[in-house]
Amino acid sequence: MGAGKTSVGKAMARKLGLAFYDLDFFIEERFRRKVADIFAERGEEGFRKIEYNMLHELAEFEDIVLAVGGGTPCFFDNMDYLNSKGITVFMNASPEIVVRHLKISHTVRPLLQQKQGQELIDHIRRHMEERMPYYLKAQYNINVDMLDSFEKIDQLVEHILATIGEQKNKLWQNGE
């Protein structure tokens, strides 16, 4: 949450000539309701079931870049499923960078409402620690702390693509 997945995902899709989807926006379009409203009406468990179904639908699309919510990898078999369907990248941001991104974001975050300052940083840090085992299952772990402005998005996209390319070349050279 707040790492820049949507912004970077859109830029990556443009760079690669692929369609971009954001799982939360896909859910909102399908249900004609904001994620925050679905959370309020159905609770987290109800939302996660919807998210699971919509993830499985989107993952069947070909040639896309998909951004998923920060909690998506942590429920059901979602992370293993994503790994089986394509290349996965964990955009690893420090809590301080996440807070900076959230301040410029216009998205309502149901799990962060009513939190500010150090309480917000501590909450994000706790969530990241709880979720890290799931995030680290991604095929690539990219530190995105350098993403401190919109101007650096294209640089980060190039860095991600170079990292993926280098790793694939290493695997190929090793005969894997």
How many angstroms from the chain centroid is the CA of residue 146? 17
Taking only the tens place, the pLDDT of each residue in 32-91 is 999 989 999 999 999 999 999 999 999 999 999 999 999 999 999 999 999 999 999 999
CA–CA dist 88, 105 (Å, integer): 24
Domains defined for the chain, CATH in brackets: 5-173 (3.40.50.300)
Quick one: average pLDDT of 118-135?
91
Q: What is the DSSP string of 2-48?
A: -SSHHHHHHHHHHHHT-EEEEHHHHHHHHHTS-HHHHHHHHHHHHHH
* Average pLDDT taken over every residue of the chain: 88
